[in-house]
Structure 1
Amino acid sequence: MNETTIQDLLQKIAFEDDQQAFKVLYFQYYKRLYNLASFYVRSAEATEEVVNDTFISIWSRRKLLADITDFTSYIYKAVKNKSLNFLKQRNFPIHFNIDDVKAEIEDVTLNIEDQMIVADFQLLIEHAVNSLPPQCKLVFKMIKEDGLPHKEVAELLNLSVRTIEYHMSIALKKLSESLNYKKNAPLVSSK
């Protein structure tokens, strides 16, 4: 969903108390926020609680949504803060299990031939991304799929910007190597 559409939803929620727009916003972000919260909170139940509490807070302060210019960044920071507060309040140790963090490429409506080409290419990319080291994979997905800037990803993951840049360079190099190798290989391996 592009930022203009998100801004439209935020306007409807802020000025019209539009519950349907809020529901669309919720479902648009839920999976990505769940994945981020699970980076901090290892329990599925606690992760759901963190994400839902974040949305409850957003609804209760919905009149302020119209002033937010980068909602994706805003909500990522909110989930990170809720996750850390959750762990702190319950005296849980902070665990990071990067392998549990997942993101998905959104579907695009195309004709059947284009869909097949895109599906094959997405399969290649998915395999290449999944072969990345766990932290490289997380950094790559947050920057390339969620569009977050390096500095923000560094803050969210408590890493330096240099470390983020390092992970991105490794990720891009490995993806390039993997995709260049696989472009001449068949998509289905024979076993």
Structure 2
Amino acid sequence: MKKQFKELPGIVKRLAEASSEAAYQELFNILYSPLRKFAFCMLHSNEEAEEVAEDVLVTLWRKRKTLSDINNIHVYALVIAKNLSLNILQKRSRYNTASLDEIDVSFCFDNSTPEQIIIDNELKKRLENAIQSLPPKCQLVFKLAKENDLSYKEIGEVLSISVKTVDAHLVAATQKLAKIFKEEFQIK
């Protein structure tokens, strides 16, 4: 678990006990990006993902007095984000709208030379295309594990699936990605 997530219990305690705006700002700084990335995995829209992340954080502020009762605020926030995202998807399916947003790849590469920048950008595109080719649930589990650094248990809680199902999705994703890259780079 990332260091910043280990600080959450203390931040939540300050937020719940004193309604500290400084604690809320810390909570916002820690959770906003993972919430936005998670929502983007489901919605494929930057605007809607940002809206979901902001709505989750507003909800946390409104419920600040009861947050100390929550065991894992990170997972709790992700569950709220999942539910809000599902609501948006449900509304979207009623109106048959589609998002045309560009995908925001959050991988960091060391870009030291112009040639390296070109190579890194190409690798990012190939990797994102490979990830996008995964089945939706598999893709979501993979991104939660690799981009949001969630444990199998946390992913299971967020998606309401068992740890074994999380493991099965990750194994399938890894095997499919390995197959794609072996074919693409002609590795035996």
Q: TM-score, normalised by structure 2?
A: 0.62
Corresponding residue for residue 115 of structure 2: none
Partners of 1:175 and 1:87 lie apart in 2 by: 27
Structure 1 CA distance, aligned partners of 2:24 and 2:169? 35
1:35 corresponding residue in structure 2:
37
- Cα 1:102–1:75 change in 2 (3 A) is farther
What are the Cα deviations for residues 45-99 of structure 1, in whole angstroms up to 9, with x where unaligned?
33322221111111011011112221111111011112223444xx3218999x9
CA RMSD of aligned residues (A): 4.3
Asked if 1 retains the 8 angstrom alpha-carbon contact of 2:144 and 2:155, the reply is yes
Decide whether aligned partners of structure 1 residues 165 and 4 sit closer, same or farther in structure 2, where only a CA change above 3 A counts.
Answer: closer
Q: Which residue of 2 aligns with 1:113?
A: none
Contact 1:50 1:79 in 2 (8 A): yes
Q: Which residue of 1 aligns with 2:21?
A: 19
Q: CA deviation at 1:38?
A: 2.5
Aligned-pair identity in percent equals: 28
1:59 to 50, 57, 61: 61
The 1-side partners of 2:21 and 2:173 are apart by 40
Deviation, structure 1 residue 142 = 1.0
Pair 66,162 (structure 1): closer, same or farther in 2 beyond 3 Å: closer
The 2-side partners of 1:83 and 1:153 are apart by 16
Matches of 1:126 and 1:92, distance apart in 2: 29
Q: Provide the residue aligned with 1:70 in structure 2.
A: 72
Aligned to 2:87: 85
| Amino acid in the other structure paired with 2:12 | L
Q: Would the aligned equivalents of 2:75 and 2:157 in 1 still touch at CA under 8 Å?
A: no
TM-score w.r.t. the length of structure 1 is 0.61
| 8 Å CA contact retained: 2:105, 2:124 | no
CA distance in 2, matches of 1:168, 1:14: 36
2:93 is paired with a residue whose SS is coil
Q: Aligned pair count?
A: 169
CA gap of 1:160–1:54, structure 2 versus 1, over 3 A, is same
Q: String of CA shifts for 1:120-147, please: whole Å, max 9, x gaps.
A: xxx7x97896444445554223124434
User: Which ranges of structure 2 fall in alignment gaps of 5 or more residues?
Assistant: 113-119
CA separation in 1, counterparts of 2:69 and 2:145? 24
Distance between the aligned counterparts of 1:163 and 1:47, measured in 2? 26
- How many angstroms does 1:21 deviate by? 1.9
Unaligned runs of 5+ in 1: 107-115, 117-122, 183-191
